[in-house]
Amino acid sequence: MLIRVLGSAAGGGFPQWNCGCPNCRGVREGTLPAVTRSQECVAISADGRGWFLLNASPEIRQQIEAFPPLHPRDRRHSPIQGVLLTNGDLDHCLGLLSLRESHPLLVYATERVRVGFIERNVFYRTLERFPGQVTWRILKPGRREELVGVDGRESGLVAEALPVPGKPPVHLEGLMRPDPEDNVGVRIRDEATGGTLAYMSAVGALTDSVRQALDGADCVFFDGTFWSSDELRALGLGEKLAEDMAHLPVGGPTGSARQLAKLGAARKIYIHLNNTNPLLREDSPERASVTTAGWEIAHDGMEITL
């Protein structure tokens, strides 16, 4: 399995348009040992020809252009065979609406995420220009799903969604009651090589289901949104704690780095980094503490072969 990180930041990206925090200022001014990052989106492929996207970020157009294997090979063509959505957050779904140029799309998502995206959404009509423009395939937690491309061919990849503590997207809060299928992690196995990817970019807590999804994976992408629970508060950027936004912090005695210290994966990578996170600074003690423990920090353009 080929894995290419197209975007590695949390919603807002790095730097964020309206943020003057020390990280965002430093990376704009070139005074911080850090690289800019676009919003989370990862491309995977078994054969290097047909690709599936994990989430569809608002920056999808630039992300596709920055990675030649995703360029069209005919006058009207795309190597993108499908898109998997792990939740309904706008920074994971908005990119779908940018793929509106009368192109058939195949989307894998839980029923909750599908309903949350299409219901009462007048913009969705832009993806209904012709019958069958979008095909949805429902990811049922715990059920293994052979990933079939929009061209009808089997991809050689099998996906399994697992419920992960999360929450409904901000724009649906108060409209939809929280549900275990609001947020999932996915395990994806390459049937030819046996390589297994566990992808969990939003994790509210380490439950048995999360541990089960991580178990035995060769490569793990994990929620690296916040280093600490009160990161936004400490910088005067808001009152919400990481946990209020359903993100388990990386640092501290109850953080994911400590809790997952025994994780056996050959590659373990933090992704979905918020622009305030000290892990973005290449010389930070926080970064040194997790890299010493075997973690990597995702960056745009990162490539992995499983």
Among 3, 6, 9, 19, the residue binding Zn ion under the rule CB under 5 A is 19
- Other Cβ atoms less than 10 A from the Cβ of 144: the count is 11
Instruction: Give me the amino acid identity at 76.
Output: R
Q: Report d(CA 178, CA 166) in Å as an integer.
A: 9
Q: Is 66 in the site for Zn ion (CB under 5 A)?
A: no
Measured in degrees and rounded to the nearest 5, phi and psi for residue 279 equal -65, -20
Provide the minimum distance between the beta carbon of 167 and Zn ion in the complex, in angstroms, as a whole number: 22
DSSP SS3 for 209: helix
Q: Is 279 in the site for Zn ion (CB under 5 A)?
A: no
Handedness of CA 60, 66, 70, 75 (dihedral sign): positive
Q: Is 228 in the site for Zn ion (CB under 5 A)?
A: no
**Which residues, 6 or more positions from 111, have their beta carbon under 8 angstroms from its beta carbon?**
138, 140, 181
Instruction: Number of residues interacting with Zn ion: please give it, by CB under 5 A.
Output: 4
Among the residue ranges 86-94, 164-172, 239-247, 269-277, the one whose residues contact Zn ion (CB under 5 A): 269-277
Provide the minimum distance between the beta carbon of 24 and Zn ion in the complex, in angstroms, as a whole number: 3
Q: What is the secondary structure of 274-287 as a DSSP string?
A: -TT-GGGSTT-HHH
Among the residue ranges 18-26, 72-80, 82-90, 214-222, the one whose residues contact Zn ion (CB under 5 A): 18-26
Q: Is 24 in the site for Zn ion (CB under 5 A)?
A: yes
Q: Is 21 in the site for Zn ion (CB under 5 A)?
A: yes
Residue with the two structure tokens 């998502």: 109
Contact track, Zn ion, 183-212, x by CB under 5 A: ------------------------------
Residue closer to Zn ion, measured from CB, 80 or 273: 273
Interface residues with Zn ion (CB under 5 A)? 19, 21, 24, 275
